Structure 1
Amino acid sequence: MTAATDPIRRIGRAGGNDGVDRLFRFVAWANLFCLGVFVFETWLTLIVGVPGPGEALAGGGDIRAWLLLLLYPAGIAAAAAFVFRTPVIGLREDADRITDFNAWVIRGAFFAVLYVGLVDAVISFLRVEEILPVLVGETLANDLARPLFRGPTVHIPLLVLGFVTAFFTRTLGFTWLALLIVAAELMIVLSRFIFAYEQAFMGDLVRFWYAALFLFASAYTLLEEGHVRVDVFYAGFSSRTKGLVNAIGALILGIVLCWTIMMLGMTSRTSIIMAPLLNFEVTQTGFGMYVKYLMAGFLAIFAMTMLIQFCAMLLDAVADRRGDPGAREHDGASVS
């Protein structure tokens, strides 16, 4: 999932961007800047405890609430400034830059869940077999049994390591993750039917990795048009008409859906995504993996990466509609 190396995709229209280019580049970058502001605001309000923009709109809050509220128009203004200061950048070049950034986010997420899954499964195995106190001592073993300790102390450093690893590799990792899911399932079958051994963490690991595979690979599937599309007319459309359909779909359906998921799931401490994350929620199985809260976070990663990719798709679709060079093939799997 990297930008196309074909230099044709980096060619804008002669003389720089016209009004249509600038309009849609502004729409895409305004969404991305606002996404950055939204993530920053969520961190400040729900984790640090700073008063949010909602308090400012309600007539309360202090200066910090108003500053957070003003970050959104500031982000939109920054997007406009960026577009007008870079008039020679074409739609496809912008789309490729956005896709490259999204690829790094997805790579980091895949490596993060890989590291967390392996380490947490080992900890759970050592706990259930009562080996952990022998290795690390009774005190640390008891601490590792508490979600509020294991999450910040073990999981968060591994999440950071995953995104650092993403800087040094070009593979997305989901092919290897799929192989590991198969290996984990095979381990369950062999241990259950040959050795009569089964523990809760084994099933938790499969569910954890499978959820990541499904949600994190969605943006890549969107880029490569690998999703299954049930259509009657699309397959017979010309490239320009497909561009129009994709642009409308990305703008009206895709981007709106992603913002809806984030607004419903990430704007309060009791929302469906943030509540498990803030409380380090785990399953009730005593010796299972402590990763249930991260699976709620998968929805946030899904919405963010899909939003980013829909912005890139919008730019590519508008370029297709205009007949710009460097078009991608639109031959995704379809059921007619």
Structure 2
Amino acid sequence: MTETPASRAIATRTFGWTMLAVMAAFLINVVLTFWFGLPGAGAAFAGGGIAAVAQAALYPAAMALAVWSVRRRPDATLREESQRATALNNFLIRAAFWVVLLVGLGDAVVSFLRVDGLLEPLLGAQLAGDLGRSQYRGLHLHVPLGLLGVAIAAVTRSLGFVWLALLVVAAELLIVLSRFVFSYEQAFMADLVRFWYGALFLFASAYTLREEGHVRVDLLYASMSRRAKGRVNAWGSILLGALLCWTILILGMGSTSSIIVGPLLVFEVTQSGFGMYVKYLMAGFLGVFAVTMMVQFVSQFFEAVADRRDEPGARETASEMM
């Protein structure tokens, strides 16, 4: 049977959404395994019981859902699919921004009150002592603020990290003013700058990729036609981009001692006793980076294949408008 352009588009769309669905199943399994104590999908073939089988079944279920989603919209174009993936990514980045904004401000206030001896008079000895433990502060302060951040992201439309850049400057300016004007500086102030700057750098990467703002050596690429660029971007998105993201996710979330899961499980903090208790969240930033970049690479893959096929409606990036 001859393959039509429509069938090729369906195959491309199915591949892209299946990759994202498998990633979602992987993340769900990570949470179920390390936070809820389930045996893991790998244990399904080693006597792990019904729970392990259910976890393993998440992967074919996710793939089936992706195929069904594509089949129910047979006339959707690749550029429309790219926009859908980008819209999903915008929400993820927006939610991450609000989470780090609220958690950063909340933890900085608690750290300020604690280092200046004001926490106990305001909240009592018991609660002040509890807030000095990273596990308690993480569960009872960071988690509620994080959920509030996700809720705010659901009803707002701004990406947010543009404002995060301003907040980084404001936090650094506060350090300068307090140090040289009031001779006051504490560890939590520098922690807040690092916390927000790390979020800005990693959360904005997917948006920068979409606008082709990353530095690239394009001695050959710049002179290519749009179709040739589409071919290069399509292969690069999968073989270089998606592969990098999978490497980060698998190595960072493969065990309890992995670089992402490990700090999150124990609410890891820095050695400075009166700094902010957010080091474990900064390890999670790497996971957010991998997830958002994966989604954006799939979006770019759709867009690149559309360019390769000369589909109408090509998007003009910021670099092309300069």
Please, what TM-score do these two structures have when normalized by structure 2?
Answer: 0.96
Give me the whole-angstrom Cα distance separating, in 2, the residues matched to 1:101 and 1:47. Answer: 25
Residue 44 of structure 2 is matched in structure 1 by 56
In structure 1, the partner of 2:20 is 32
Q: Could you give the per-residue CA deviations for residues 278-334 of structure 1, whole angstroms, max 9, x where no partner exists?
A: 10000010100000000000000000010011111100100011011111225639x
Residues 137 and 17 of structure 1, relative CA distance in 2, 3 Å threshold: farther
CA–CA distance in structure 1, aligned partners of residues 218 and 27 of structure 2 = 35
1:109 to 54, 74, 96: 96
Residue in structure 2 matched with residue 12 of structure 1 by the alignment: none
Residues 278-317 of structure 1 mapped to structure 2, 5 A cutoff: 278-317=265-304
1:119 paired residue among 87, 97, 106: 106
| Conserved? CA contact 1:52–1:68, under 8 Å | yes
The Cα of 1:74 is off from its aligned counterpart by 2.1
Q: 1:42 aligns with which of 27, 30, 42?
A: 30
Which residue among 5, 11, 18 is the counterpart of 1:23? 11
Q: d(CA) in 2 for partners of 1:116 and 1:73? A: 36
Offset of residue 17 of structure 1: 6.1
User: Which of 70, 78, 83 is residue 91 of structure 1 equivalent to?
Assistant: 78
What amino acid sits opposite 1:304 in the alignment?
A: V
RMSD between superposed Cα atoms in Å:
1.3
- 2:310 & 2:224 partners in 1: Cα distance? 14
**1:155 pairs with one of 142, 148, 157:** 142
Q: Percent identity?
A: 57
Cα deviation 1:164-209 (Å, max 9, x = unaligned): 1111211111111111111111111111122221100000000000
Give the aligned residue type for 2:52. A
**5+ long unaligned stretches in structure 1:** 1-15
> Does residue 185 in structure 1 map to residue 172 in structure 2?
yes
1:8 aligned residue: none
3-state secondary structure, aligned to 1:198: coil
**SS at the partner of 1:130?**
coil
CA distance in 1, matches of 2:315, 2:229: 11
Tell me how far apart the structure 2 counterparts of residues 72 and 132 of structure 1 sit (CA, whole Å): 47
Unaligned runs of 5+ in 2: none
- 1:199 to 2:186 alignment: yes
Mapped to 1, the partners of 2:125 and 2:142 lie a distance apart of 20
Looking at structure 2, the residues matched to 66 and 103 of structure 1 have their Cα atoms a distance apart, in angstroms, of 34
Provide Cα deviations, 1:121-148, integer angstroms capped at 9, x if missing partner: 0110000100111111111111100001
Report the AA paired with residue 166 of structure 2. Answer: L
Give the TM-score normalised by structure 1: 0.92
SS in 2 for 1:167: helix
Distance 1:101 1:273 in 2: 23
Matches of 2:311 and 2:230 in 1, distance apart?
11
Tell me, in whole angstroms, the C-alpha distance in 2 between the residues paired with 1:246 and 1:99: 16
The separation in 2 between residues aligned to 1:251 and 1:65, in whole angstroms, is 29
Q: Distance in 2 between matches of 1:331 and 1:155?
A: 36
Q: Letter of the aligned partner of 2:61 in structure 1? A: A
Is 1:74 aligned to 2:61, yes or no? yes
Q: What is the one-letter code of the residue matched to 1:38?
A: F
C-alpha distance 101-174 of structure 1, shift in aligned 2 (>3 A): same
Aligned-partner Cα distance in 2 for 1:187–1:82: 49
| Paired letter, 2:115 | V
Q: Secondary structure at the match of 1:268?
A: coil
* Distance in 2, Cα, partners of 1:104 & 1:71: 24
Q: Which amino acid aligns with 2:106?
A: V
Shift of 1:64: 1.2
